[in-house]
Every structure is written in C-alpha cells, then in structure tokens.
Chains A and B, each alone.
Chain A
C-alpha cells in the first residue's frame, strides 16, 4: 500500500466545459490522475440516438479535442486519465483515443474501455417501473431510446490494475470516476465503507470541476471571485485515510474557500446522511471543512455504510416535441403589448386546431423564472420578452406553435422585434432500479 498522497484533478464538469483549465492541470498540477466528468442524465440518451443513426459515433463530440489538448502533458508527466466520455460507445471512443495517440507519436499508450452499463435490452424486455411516472418500462415500446445503469468504481479499478493509461466509461456514477483511482492506489477494501464514503465526498466535491473553485458562486459585492475568465479547475491531495485538501493550480483564477466547498458539498444532495452511489451509501453529515492556507481547504469526516442492493438506471425515451417562440417589446406599454401578443398566439392555436398537450407563456424580465412568486414585486421593466413554449405530439404541431410567435411580426402588436423560434424532440429521462447481478461490466484494453 502506498502511503503518499494521490493527486486527482477535475478536467471537466460537464460535456461542454472549458478545455484550457484541464491543460493547466495536466501541465502544472503534479497530478496522478486527470478526470473528466462529461455525462449528464440526458446526454447518454442523445448519444444513443446518435449511435443508432451512425455506429461510429455515440461518444462525447469533444472527445478528440479534449484528448488532443491534454495527452502530451499527461504522457510527459505520467498522468492517467479517467473519463465517462464514452457515453453510448466507450469502445468506439477508446479506438479514437488510440488512433489519436498513434497520430501524436504517443505509441504504447494503453486505452481501456469499460462496457456493461448499457442495459437497454434488459429494460426493454423486463419489468421495470419508472420512478417518476409509475409506468412500466415495457409500455414505452418503440419510444424507449436508452437505458444505462450507474456503474461503480470496480471495473475502472480493474482497468487501472491492468495498466491502463486512459480509462473510458459510459454511465459510471460521477463520484466513482474519482473513487476508483483512490481504491486502486490505496488498496481500499470494497467493503471499507468509511474510506469509500470519505473518497466519495472528495469525488463529489471535484465532479463539477469549476463549481468548487469559485464557478457558479460569484455575487458581486456579496461573494466576489477573482478572474472567472481564467477559472482554475480543482485538484485534491488525498491521503490513504480518505481525508483530502481541495486546491487549485497557483496563479489560476477563482478561489477555493470553505464557502465554495460548502456550496458544492450540498449540490444535488438530498438526505446528506445517505448519498446513494453504486459503491457506498455515503454520509456527508460529519464532514468538516477547515482552512489550510490560501486556496486550500482540508476535508475530513466523510464516512459511509453499506452500498444499496440495486443500481439506479437512467431510462431515456422519446416524449413528443416542444415548439417555442420568443419576441421582444420595449418602451412605454411594452408589457401590455407582450401580454396582448401572448393572447393572440393562444387564440390562434385554438383557431388553427393545433394539438397542444401543454402550453406555457412567460414574460422574460417579469415572471419567466419564478412565475407568480416574484411577479408584481416591482414596477414594469423597460423591455420585456414574450416566450411561448408548448408540448405537442408531432414535430409539425411544434413548428406551428413557433411560427405563430414569429408571425406576430406582421400580425401582432406594434414594435415587436428579435423573434426567434425553436423546435426540438423531447428526450425525457426517468429512473428505475436493477439488481446488481444483472449488470455485467467488461474491460477491453487497446494499445496505441
């Protein structure tokens, strides 16, 4: 067992995240591992749709860009990379990285793909009840697009043990991407709930990258953060007992303070004494955060208990269309004209017999974000933007909703400007649960 600290860097907090902070971490973070978390609930369903259309796709569209940016520094400094950018096609993603490594002269790079999270066939034929709707998965029929189990750290640990320099997964649980290198480096037992819980706390703090270093935090005059345009992404110095220091590369933008860590600790948490992951039921309630110098926060007290018996499964399904249009009004009477415009659209959709399942009208600048809760608290704004969004069964009806907003130009109130329209198919995501033994993971390693 190694007794030194392990340094984990977070290179991305979502699929479209900035690329440069990861380069900075790879070059100057003295990292052991660089980890990219790029898979939101819906992303994998969209990836599955892309793969169905073209079998050579289905992984993160920025995969090549991110690896091209960091591979040289990672190879030079022996930094291993772990990511869920494989999305619906980890094997295809690994082939892309292998080819890219050869092209860049990085021969011998070992790239692992972890498969097994895709449980679409099982969910399509088995009886699984969707948590959100109470509907049986089989009832979705041909609307079912994807089903992916949240897998844990074990197959990633296996890939690292087999010597992978790069590990690419599909739907691994976000904290598992960070927990795996700790389990590997410190040889934590797979029922060492205290350490697995502590490692999960570290993973949770890192998984949204810039959200713990001052991103999504600034509120001028109340909570100021320097240099957000050059925000540094976080790294953790983790000890064998699971305690850690969260910090960032010296000279990068942002801040690491107890306050930034507290906000991220509770981000997307329900019961903080029972944060359910495939690896452990983590307990955040005794976590302590202490100052350890400038931009350094010490994290202790994370713990846990036995993991759940089932794995959460994200189920993606087609759920109709959304048609949306927006148009702006300004100056005296702007709000009255925007309200009139909204009334006209509603009436038109009725007259035209457009089949609308649900319709929503917002006045951006007044009630779009917090509705009636906030509306009427202050006087009319100088300018306001009408937004109409409707759920429809067909793309044609969605387009008609959008067009009714655009045609307010020539048929609606005076002075409407800046109309925009959008039509999209809805890929809804619901959850179900699956016994662990029905999810079998495999590791495939390719060498550049």
Chain B
C-alpha cells in the first residue's frame, strides 16, 4: 500500500519554502495516517528533494495534515535551475510513500 491509495496531496510554494498537504480520502483514516505519516518518515522519503527539517501541522476538522519543508540551496522558485522550478510535482513523490498494512 502507498499513500496515494488513501490520501491526496497538493504542493504549494513560497520562495524557498514548499508545503505538501496530505488529505485522507476517508476521514476515518485520519488518526491512522497521523500515526504512520510522521514528519520523520516524510523527511526520510523526500531525501535530497528537501533540505533540513520537515514540520507537520494537523487539521483534524478536515482530516488533513500539512508538511512544510525548505528546498535545497539555490532552489527558490525564481532562481532554480530545475525543470520544475516551483517544486509543484513534489506531491507525486510524497504520494509514493509506502505504508504499512493495517
């Protein structure tokens, strides 16, 4: 099972910061997602795509989490050499996160 089976995601950008939402398709899965999709797991999964710490914010009213990270040096939207200068496609990388079977 991967995250895409149970949640959807959109990436947003502001300068050198990127945010990735993780939204449960079924809000009953939210408590379990909070347990298994931790900031540390997301940090490890994204590897070199982000720099430093990943912070997690919870929005239980809508069954969603928000992950906020800094992009690697030089990767701000306006300076980046990357094809996807905004990092808009990062949500697809996050949705490939393997999840334990329940």
Contacts and interface: CB of A to CB of B under 8 A. Distances in A.
Interface in B1-37: 4, 8-10, 12-17, 19, 21, 23, 25
Contacts of A427: 78
From DSSP, what is the main secondary structure of chain B's interface residues? mixed
Among A285, A286, A319, max chain B CB count under 10 A is at A285
Given A132-B76, A288-B61, A362-B83, A263 B8 contact: yes
Among B45, B81, B82, max chain A CB count under 10 A is at B81
A222 B81 contact: no
Interface in A151-209: none
Nearest to A431: B15
From DSSP, what is the main secondary structure of chain A's interface residues? mixed
Contact of B15 (A359, A369, A430): A430
A369 B83 contact: yes
Contact of B78 (A269, A286, A426): A426
A263 B23 contact: yes
A327 to B, nearest CB: 14
A114 B14 CA distance: 25
A284 B59 CA distance: 8
A35 interface: no
Instruction: Sort A-B residue pairs by CB-CB distance and give the 5 closest, nearest first.
Output: A268-B12, A266-B21, A360-B81, A263-B10, A389-B81
Contacts of A289: 62
A340 B57 CA distance: 44
B84 interface: yes
A244 interface: no
Contacts of B12: 266-269
Contacts of B45: 373
Contacts of B4: 222
B14 A270 contact: yes
Contacts of A269: 12, 19, 21, 66
Interface of A: 41-42, 131-132, 216-217, 219, 222-223, 258-259, 262-273, 284-289, 301, 319, 322, 358-360, 362, 364, 368-374, 387, 389-391, 426-431
Interface in B69-86: 74, 76-79, 81-84
B21 A267 contact: yes
A270 B15 contact: no
21 contacts: A259-B8, A263-B21, A267-B12, A269-B12, A269-B66, A270-B17, A270-B68, A284-B59, A285-B59, A287-B62, A289-B62, A362-B82, A370-B92, A373-B93, A389-B82, A389-B83, A391-B81, A426-B79, A428-B76, A428-B78, A430-B76
Given A132-B15, A263-B21, A368-B83, A373 B48 contact: yes
A266 B63 CA distance: 12
Contacts of A272: 57, 59, 66
A262 B76 contact: no
B64 interface: yes
Nearest to B9: A263
Contacts of B74: 358
A371 B48 contact: yes
Contacts of A42: 77-78
A200 to B, nearest CB: 16
A319 B9 CA distance: 33
Nearest to A319: B79
Contact of B8 (A223, A360, A387): A223
B93 A370 contact: yes
Contacts of A360: 81-82
Nearest to B16: A132
B61 A287 contact: yes
A42 B14 CA distance: 11
Among A223, A266, A358, max chain B CB count under 10 A is at A266
A258 B63 CA distance: 11
